[in-house]
Amino acid sequence: MKRQKVYFVGSSAEVAHHAAPVIEASESSGFDLEIVEPAAAIDRIHHGDLAVFYSEHFDRFRQTCKELKSRNIPTLYMIDGILEWRNAWENRPDEPACPWTMRPVLSHKVACIGHSQARTLAAWGNGSKIEITGIPRLDNLTNRWKELDTGTDPRQSVHPFRILIMTAKFPGFTEQQVENTKRALTDVKKFVEACPEIGGRKVELIWRLTRGMDETIGVDNQLTDLCGTDLANVLKSVDAVVTTPSTAMLEAMLLRLPVALLEYNNNPHYIPAAWHIGNQSQIAPVFEGLVAGDATRMQFQNDVLRDSLLIEPASTATDRLVELIKGMLKVADLADGNELHFPAAMLGMPLTIEGEFNHQSIYAGYAGFDTTDVAELQSQEAHSRRVIDSLRAEINQLESELSEAHRIFDQIHDHPIAGPVVRARQRVLDWLARFNQREDTRQ
């Protein structure tokens, strides 16, 4: 009997670390797993297969997902991190990511990392699609968290007290957000330079910054990769973590490290922290609290962790994701190419909260949400797709013409007679440009 296939959609660099635990588990689970680029997915994935998306933010994923669904091929959105307010609601006007990603989810099912995320996605209108799995790549840390004695402080008791200062993959999604992050990091740096000891202990900062923030504020950076390998090692060597909103918050909490949220944007947080630095005046008391430790705040942090990340004693996130995949493959197999209908709560964790999400009021500035008439919306989308296809064809034609122009120019440039003339002309033009620039400077 032919084994069914599961495809993780994306480049290997994008999805390999997400897929790794499932690839290992798939060997004994009755299906094969492969990574495929979005552009190739439509031709590679067929009836009886399943497509797993790690992102629905960009058009290359969204269009692939919609095309596969139109062919009754099951799709699963595997969320691998936290929801973040800035990324969800405060992007640049020219941001290439879809501004209403997950509102609603496109895929047939969505694998959430925990109960709080599931409640939020339910409030966004995704109730019947939601399954709670956890994060497979964090299974090792989750197992360690279960084994640690809650009455034991795992932090080092020797000097110095090491605090990891880090930023998420994106320090901000607008220029103002990036500037706020820069200011926050600079304030932290200046504070520790002025107060190298807190509570009788020397404080040492370990920096793990993204997008050139280390060069911007002038610190040595410990970042070596964004796939989590180096972060896991760094976390084992520190006593506390101060971070911008990031899934790394959960990783640090799993190691029972006190976590402070560094966030100068005054935004709501889908995952709160027991300590929070919202402005310069809060740095000193937060750092003092991190060094001193506080059982009450750590209890709150553990409660946040349990609500944010599914930590199930009887199974792992990989086990639950594999169970969900096998259940979806079974439904697809029984449907035999006909329209797919997946039951709610396939993993046995029904949600009782279903919010009301009004796209017309929340996205009042977007004309596409002005109507709720399905036929009109379908007509608008069909027309939009025709315009997009036409623009893509025009871009392809222009790129082809540009490539041909380059080819002709290269032939002329290499010609034994025309080549020297062209090169001489270019030298004259370059000289004239430099001359005009000097004249403009003198005026």
pLDDT digits (tens, 9 = 90+) for 288-337: 999 998 899 999 999 999 999 998 878 899 999 999 999 999 999 998 88
Q: Using pLDDT thresholds of 50, 70 and 90, give the confidence band for residue 24.
A: confident
**What are the residues facing 111 on neighbouring strands?**
78, 131
**279: number of CA atoms within 13 Å, CB side?**
2
User: Does 427 score more than 90 pLDDT?
Assistant: no
Written as one string, the DSSP assignment of 334-355 is HHTTS---PPS-TTS-------
Q: Which amino acid is at 117?
A: Q
Of these ranges, 86-100, 224-238, 269-283, the one predicted with the greatest mean pLDDT is 269-283
Q: Tell me if 251 sits within 8 A of 141, measured CB to CB.
A: yes
Neighbour count for residue 12 (Cβ, 10 Å)? 12
DSSP 29: T
Cβ-contact 64, 106 below 8 angstroms: no
DSSP letters of 157-180? -SSPEEEEEE--SSS-SSHHHHHH
- pLDDT score of 137: 93
Give the integer Cα–Cα distance in Å for 65 and 101: 13
Instruction: Kindly report, residue by residue over 221-241, the tens digit of the pLDDT.
Output: 887 666 656 788 899 999 999
CA–CA distance, 389 with 387 (Å, rounded to integer): 5
Max mean pLDDT range (141-145, 259-263, 398-402): 259-263
Q: Extract long-range pairs of 195-201: CB within 8 Å, 24+ residues apart.
A: 195/284, 195/287, 198/161, 198/287, 198/288, 198/291, 199/288, 199/291, 199/292, 201/159, 201/160, 201/161, 201/291
User: Which of 57-71, 286-300, 391-405 is the least confident region?
Assistant: 391-405
Of 74, 80, 70, the residue nearest 50 (C-alpha): 74
Tell me the pTM.
0.81
Provide the pLDDT for residue 397.
86
Nearest to 250 by CA among 317, 346, 174, 173: 317
Higher-confidence residue of 394 and 352: namely 394
pLDDT greater than 80 at residue 370: no
Tally of CB atoms within 10 A around 117: 24
Task: List the single range of 64-68, 71-75, 250-254, 429-433 with lowest mean pLDDT.
Answer: 429-433
Q: What is the pLDDT of residue 210?
A: 93
**412 has a pLDDT exceeding 80:** no
Token pair for 256: 């029972």
Report CA 254 to chain centroid distance, whole Å.
20
Dump pLDDT digits (tens) for 153-188.
Answer: 555 556 799 999 999 999 999 999 999 999 999 999
349-377 CB burial, b ≥16 within 10 A, e <16: bebeeeeebebeeeeeeeeebeeeeeeee
